[in-house]
C-alpha cells in the first residue's frame, strides 16, 4: 500500500486529518471509516495529528477491561467494554515513509488497538475472539 510517489498516501493522510479535525470528540480515525481500503490511521495528540501506515501491534502487556466508544457506532454515544492491553509496542510507517517502532500505554494504547481493529474489519459490535464477557 505504501506507494509514496503515487499521491495516494498524501491524499488519504490529508482526508484523515481533515475529517478528524472536524470532529472534536474523535481521538482517532481509520481510513476504512471514510471510504478508503488502505491500512492507515490518524491519531490526535492534542493539536497534532499523527498518520500511521500499516500499523502492527507487536507486543501486548497488562490486559484489562476498558470502556470504549466509536464514532462509527451509534455516533459514539454507546460505551462498550473491550478487553485491551494497557501497554503495547507498535510498528508502522509515518506518512513520510519512516519506519517507526514505539510503545504506547493507557488511552493511547487503547486508541491504537481500536483503530487497528477497524483496519482488520472489527468493530465494537463484534465479539472478541477468545474473550467471554
Q: Give the Cα separation of 36 and 50 in Å (integer).
A: 17
Q: Residue 19: exposed, middle, or buried by beta-carbon count in 10 A (0-12, 13-18, 19+)?
A: middle
Would you call 115 a catalytic residue per the annotation?
A: yes
pLDDT per residue of the chain (133 residues) written in tens, 0 to 9: 556 667 889 999 999 999 999 988 889 999 999 999 999 999 999 889 999 999 999 999 998 888 888 877 765 566 778 889 999 999 999 988 999 999 999 999 999 999 999 999 987 777 676 666 5
| Radius of gyration for the alpha carbons in the chain, expressed in angstroms and rounded | 14
CATH topology classification for 8-119: Peptide Deformylase (3.90.45)
Answering whether pTM is above 0.75, one says yes
Amino acid at each position: 500500500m505504501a506507494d509514496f510517489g503515487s499521491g495516494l498516501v498524501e491524499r488519504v493522510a490529508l482526508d484523515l486529518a481533515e475529517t478528524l479535525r472536524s470532529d472534536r470528540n474523535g481521538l482517532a480515525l481509520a481510513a476504512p471509516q471514510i471510504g478508503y481500503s488502505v491500512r492507515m490511521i490518524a491519531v490526535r495528540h492534542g493539536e497534532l495529528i499523527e498518520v500511521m501506515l500499516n500499523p502492527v501491534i507487536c507486543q501486548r502487556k497488562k490486559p484489562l477491561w476498558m470502556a470504549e466508544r466509536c464514532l462509527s457506532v451509534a455516533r459514539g454515544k454507546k460505551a462498550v467494554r473491550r478487553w485491551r492491553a494497557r501497554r503495547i509496542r507498535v510498528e508502522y510507517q509515518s506518512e513520510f515513509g519512516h519506519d517507526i517502532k514505539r510503545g504506547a500505554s493507557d488511552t493511547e494504547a487503547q486508541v491504537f488497538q481500536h483503530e487497528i481493529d477497524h483496519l482488520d474489519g472489527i468493530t465494537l459490535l463484534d465479539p472478541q475472539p477468545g474473550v467471554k464477557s
